Amino acid sequence: MKPQAKIERVAVYPGSFDPVTLGHLDIIHRAAKQFDKLIVAVLNNTSKNPLFTVEERKELLRQATDDLDNVEVDSFRDLLVRYMRSRDAGVIVRGIRSVTDFEYELQLASTNRHLDEGIETIFMTTNPKYSYLSSSIVKEIAQFEGEVRELVPPHVEQALRDRFRERAQAADRR
Ligand code: ADP
């Protein structure tokens, strides 16, 4: 039999991750089991007004995925499919929480397919525990000093507290 070179299956999980939640982490843990390597890629999107910088979001993700050997954290500002090619990745992983997510995700997947037929999108359905959970909801709760302990890892909870405290202090000085 011919010796076969092992083909590494590399997937990318792209998103804003502003900040990473337990919903994202659930997808990351499950997706990491399906691929040789999973790159969690923070979208460097200048049109949104993020709470955390790209570097901060990456650091929060790194700490959250410390225990997963085949997970790498990166960022990109290029077209996703072009970034995928540059990383030799063939699969995009996205999470689906609801029908609304599905409609948007289908549009996104079709666009990416149109741009590059060789790249596949795989959807993973949410863990029902986190079906209502989003970064926006977490930020909304944290902004009013609500409890986010069951929604994000402890270091993210701390980062949220610090960021909103800084903002409140800056507003007081104005
Ligand atoms: P984007 O700005 O690209 O939507 P997000 O950081 O909000 O980035 O989400 C990244 C991906 O993770 C998306 O596919 C989103 O549907 C999915 N996702 C977000 N929250 C959850 C959750 N609680 N359960 C499952 N998937 C989720």
Ligand 1, atom 12: closest residue by C-alpha: 95
Catalytic residue from among 57, 58, 94, 97: 97
Instruction: Identify the three-state secondary structure at position 7.
Output: coil
CA-133 nearest atom, ligand 1: 23
Cβ atoms of 65 and 97 closer than 8 Å = no
pLDDT at 172: 83
Roughly how many angstroms between the first and final C-alpha of the chain, as a whole number? 74
Look at the alpha carbons of 130, 22, 150, 157 in this order and tell me if their dihedral is positive or negative: negative
> What is the average pLDDT value for the chain, to the nearest integer?
94
* 34 contacts: CB under 8 Å, gap ≥ 6: 11
Sequence-distant (≥ 6) Cβ neighbours of residue 14 within 8 angstroms: 41, 42, 43, 76, 80, 92, 94
CA gap 12, 41 in Å, rounded: 7
Per residue in 115-166, pLDDT tens? 999 999 999 999 999 999 999 999 999 999 999 999 999 999 999 999 999 9
Alpha carbons 118 and 28: distance in angstroms, whole number: 23
Q: Is 44 in the pocket of ligand 1 (CB under 6 A)?
A: no
Q: What pTM, to 2 d.p., does this model score?
A: 0.94
